[in-house]
Amino acid sequence: MPRNDRNGAVAIGFHLLFIAFILAPLVVVVLVSFTDKGFLAMPFGGASLRWWWAIGDNPRFLESFWFSLQLAFVTATLAALVAVPAALAIVRFRFPGREALMALLASPLMIPHVVLGVALLRFFAGLGLVGSFVALAAAHLVVVVPYMARLVTAALAGLDPRIERAAESLGAGRLAVFRRITLPLILPGVAGGWTLAFITSFDELTVSLFLASPSATPLPVRLFTYIDQMTDPLVASVSAALIAVTAVVLVVLDRFYPIDRLLTGERRA
């Protein structure tokens, strides 16, 4: 590579400031979680793990953690079941209403989450389902479907339809073609979409806030309402645990599915 492709000193300086800005709030949270004080303080005057142990003494946070895991699992799986067939229809067929279907699948991205939250609150209140797992799963499904649809559609569009036709001409039925040929080939896209849907659901706050109940409280809602009342280092240790888990997931995920492709739906970037 020619030397003039490199960044200059100013560019490197800007980049370091940018990285510092991005990481500052996360690093601070992790540091504060190791304090030995009863209030938000840096651990330099005295460090301890007491606030990490405190997570175990607060069953409500653990309850919400498990609840969020289940919710994210169900949401991501439902999203795959709904989006994969729809993406097949969009990529493999030309039919009236195809554009409308594409717009419908992408539309939740344009709707403010507060609006979605109040609309679903009103809707599920009428059905007596506010505070139920079903209501939260349906709400999260709406939120994550666009991501899933985008990644699966991109995966399908990159697939040579002649492979499927070859299998069909050799006598494979439609279902067999899908199960044995199409699905394995688009699996990276589906898996990437599933992971992104899982993470998005796990992190979702605003819509959940309207639909949660004491017995059905996802972790971000638990954290948000806790912070609303008080901010002690317990918030920091729970947050730091979430940051740690996300970091591990991110590094592992990046090996299999580069993060920029996951988030943009681009086939190559």
**Window 120-149: residues binding another protein (CB under 8 A):** 120-123, 126, 138-139, 141-142, 145, 149
Q: How far is the CB of 201 from another protein (least distance, A)?
A: 11
Q: How far apart are CA 246 and CA 252, in angstroms?
A: 10
CA angle 83, 81, 243 (to 5 degrees): 80
Q: How far is the CB of 57 from another protein (least distance, A)?
A: 20
Question: Given the rule CB under 8 A, which of 58-66, 69-77, 184-192, 202-210 is the region that contacts another protein?
Answer: 202-210
x/- binding map, residues 171-200, to another protein, per CB under 8 A? ---x------------------------x-
Residues 25 to 44: which contact another protein by CB under 8 A? 25-26, 28-29, 32, 40, 42
CA atoms within 13 A of residue 140's CA, in its CB half-sphere: 35
Choose which of 24, 166, 183, 187 interacts with another protein (CB under 8 A).
24
Q: How far apart are CA 27 and CA 140, in angstroms?
A: 29
Q: How far is the CB of 184 from another protein (least distance, A)?
A: 19
Residues 82 to 101: which contact another protein by CB under 8 A? 82-83, 85-86, 88-90, 93, 95, 98, 101
Contacts of 230 (CB under 8 A, 6+ apart): none
Q: Using the rule CB under 8 A, is 74 a contact of another protein?
A: no
Q: Using the rule CB under 8 A, is 14 a contact of another protein?
A: yes
Direct distance between the N- and C-terminal alpha carbons of the chain, in angstroms, rounded to an integer: 19
Q: How far apart are CA 149 and CA 155, in angstroms?
A: 10
Question: Given the rule CB under 8 A, which of 17-25, 44-52, 55-63, 156-164 is the region that contacts another protein?
Answer: 17-25
CA angle 210, 215, 219 (to 5 degrees): 65
Q: How far is the CB of 8 from another protein (least distance, A)?
A: 7
CA angle 87, 88, 91 (to 5 degrees): 80
Choose which of 75, 189, 239, 257 interacts with another protein (CB under 8 A).
239
Q: Using the rule CB under 8 A, is 256 a contact of another protein?
A: no
Cβ atoms of 120 and 132 closer than 8 Å: no
Q: What is the CA radius of gyration of the chain?
A: 23
Phi-psi group of 13: left, alpha or beta (phi > 0 → left; psi -120 to 50 → alpha; rest → beta): alpha
x/- binding map, residues 203-232, to another protein, per CB under 8 A? x-xx--xx--------xx--xx--x---x-
Residues 43 to 72: which contact another protein by CB under 8 A? none
> Which residue type, as a one-letter code, is found at position 158?
G
